[in-house]
Amino acid sequence: MWDIGVDVVEVQRFRRLDYPNHKRFYNRIFTPREIDYCLSFKNAAQHFAATFAGKESVFKAVNRHIRVKPREIEILRDGDAPQVNLVRGRVGMADTGSQVEVKVSLSHTQSYAIAFALARFEKAGQT
């Protein structure tokens, strides 16, 4: 079974919520690795917006099947394409005998960030 999710975010929203003055917000939404990644760029707001859009798109793609909070969805950029790590969601899927594979695509301009997620759910033993 397949599900999709998409999200668009205004980058200005994250410019107004700068990290130094809103750490509590960022720590509630983003993982430490996501925060470190976004802060490694001069224009961190674009990267925070893209990551947030990614989390929202993944949430929309998986929420009918597993319950997951934004901080339990981690968007990592260790390779060529962003990777999705469902921190606690995988455990929930194991309890139902299902597995989930999630792919996400992120893009941003100076004004907007967009993300598209595709989730594939598979019952144990099916292909």
CATH number at 110 reads 3.90.470.20
**Predicted confidence (pLDDT) at residue 123 exceeds the cutoff of 50:** yes
Calpha distance 61→118 (Å, rounded) = 6
State the amino acid at position 35 in one-letter form: I
Tell me what percent of the residues of the chain surpass a pLDDT of 70: 88
- Tell me what the mean pLDDT of segment 11-30 comes to: 96
Which residues constitute the domain of residue 50?
A: 2-123
Calpha distance 65→80 (Å, rounded) = 28
Calpha distance 58→124 (Å, rounded) = 21
Burial 45-83 (b: 16+ CB within 10 A, else e): bbbbbbbbbbbbbbbbbbeebbebeeebbbbebeeeebe
For 8, 13, 25, 29, 61, the CA distances from 74, given in Å and listed in that order, are 18, 20, 16, 10, 14
Report the candidate in 59, 119, 61, 124 with the shortest Cα–Cα distance to residue 98. 124
Report the candidate in 108, 90, 100 with the shortest Cα–Cα distance to residue 11. 108
Residue-wise pLDDT tens digits, 31-72: 999 999 999 999 999 999 999 999 999 999 998 888 888 889
Q: Which two tokens stand for residue 43?
A: 């224009």
- Say what the pTM is: 0.88
What is the number of structural domains in the chain? 1
For 75-107, the DSSP string reads EE-SSSS-EEEETTHHHHHHHTTEEEEEEEEEE
